[in-house]
Amino acid sequence: MVFADLFFLYFFLPLCLICYFVSKKLRTKNLILIVFSLVFYAWGEPLWVILLLFSAAFNWFSGLMIEANRKSKWAKLVVAGAVTVDILLLVIFKYSGFLVENINGLLHISIPVPQISLPIGISFFTFQAISYVIDCYWETVTTQRSFKKFLLYLSLFPQLIAGPIVRYSVVENEINKRKSTMSDISEGALRFIVGLAKKVIIANNLYAIVKQFYGDVNANQYNDISSMSFLGTWFVVIAYSLYVYFDFSGYSDMAIGLGRIFGFHFDENFKYPFICKTISEFWQRWHISLSSFFRDYLFYAPIFGKPRKYVNLFLVWFCTGLWHGAAWNYIFWGLYFGAFLLLEIKIGKKKMKKWPLWLTHIYSKLVIVIGFGIFCFSDMGQLGNFFMNISGLGMLFHGNAFADTVTWSTFVKNIFLIIAAIIVSMPVLQYIKKFFFEWGNNVVYTTGKVLASVGCAYLLVMSSILLVDSTNNPFLYFRF
């Protein structure tokens, strides 16, 4: 089941909210969320609920064993064993086919490639489980003795299948004690609707542009782009970059909004990443839950007895790329960003702050957009064509055009969509919100509330209308 679906919006979610808010006791509310979360996950893949339940039971029990053996060497063995099993499950279900294909190619053998369907959201709930076990060992969280409460943490449907990666420390107190105020419900609903609009109105229409030129890249079905024009390639990869942002940040907004309605306060996952001036700043604003996970659990990890800065940096960005998918382009994508982060470390923050503002923005946007081109193409042949075209070499060696009428026509047709996407990707709406709600004037505040309510009602209606004619609205990060 997905959020951008009429059945979810007008049946599943209302039914869940009614059952939740009719209940008086927190224990009952938690049980209702568990049941609805398991149904939500099982809606498309009933079999993989078993994997989710196993992961929950195994990591919950591991936490108890760490607590019971706190002062002995067994605690370290338990956490090592738990993390190993979690990673092994991820490797089996997500990377086994990729590994076998590469072994076959390297050794020129023919081991049968396993055809295992990817359990949705396995990367997210596995990383949450790993963070819990490690935090139990580090004693930064209190071991959860109730399996039901731990299952609620791992299976909570707002963030179950496409994040953000919510650490147990963030919701530890709210699992045991929380209250949904009218402010929580109102702010959560508005946040959810804004996220829905970002997905349905902006992301889906941006993807239509990408699909027209590059093919159905989410299904790894690519058009031959070897003859695309220079400007055409740039236009589409910029559209793709915006699409990925609105698709994933839209889901994160919906997840955070739903969590707020139920009394959970998830951390932000995106903070307007395209306003960054460096690649380091970009990753402080983009998919924050993932970058902070690798920072805290891998970057400072001891390698051969102590943290090794450059080795750990390589591992972080290799794993960041690999986390996104079982294909070489994702690994290249991670290492590509890692290389620029290393470059910025060598240059130094003080020197980069002296760069002209226009130069830092051009530098960062060029790196980001080209990076998303790497992210887009798992087909190495088309990835090579992409680099030929975007660098201008396609014009030199293949006779490709500098510009073409089809690209221009598509750009003109979608000019308002592109402008809207660029504006919304900037903190413009944030400034408008501050103007109305932090002015200190009751009339201005009331006007802001009315405009926000009317605006979100309009966005909900428009999104619903667009969903009537849409048969498939998967989020990109469901693949990961």
Residues serving a catalytic function are 324
Print burial letters for 79-117: b (CB count within 10 Å at least 16), e (below 16). Answer: beebbebbeebbeebbbeebebeeeeeeeeeeeeeeeee
Compute the distance between CA of residue 141 and CA of residue 266 in angstroms, rounded to an integer. Answer: 16
Classify 480 as helix, strand or coil: coil
Place of tokens 């993932």: 290
- Residue closest to 171 by CA, chosen among 122, 128, 126: 128
DSSP-H helix ranges across 156-218? 168-176, 182-197, 204-214
Widest CA span in the chain: 74
Compute the distance between CA of residue 170 and CA of residue 193 in angstroms, rounded to an integer. Answer: 23
Q: Is the peptide bond before 14 cis (omega within 30 degrees of 0)?
A: no
- 307 φ/ψ angles, rounded to the nearest 5 degrees: -60, 135
Compute the distance between CA of residue 138 and CA of residue 161 in angstroms, rounded to an integer. Answer: 27
Number of helices and strands (H, E) in the chain? Answer: 24, 2
Place of tokens 């009537």: 468
Compute the distance between CA of residue 345 and CA of residue 120 in angstroms, rounded to an integer. Answer: 36
Print burial letters for 144-162: b (CB count within 10 Å at least 16), e (below 16). Answer: beeeebbbbbbbbbbbbbb
DSSP state of 270: -
The token pair that represents 33 in the structure block? 């969320």
Dihedral sign for Cα 69, 70, 72, 73, please: positive
Compute CA distances 329 → 109, 333, 378, whole Å. Answer: 23, 6, 5
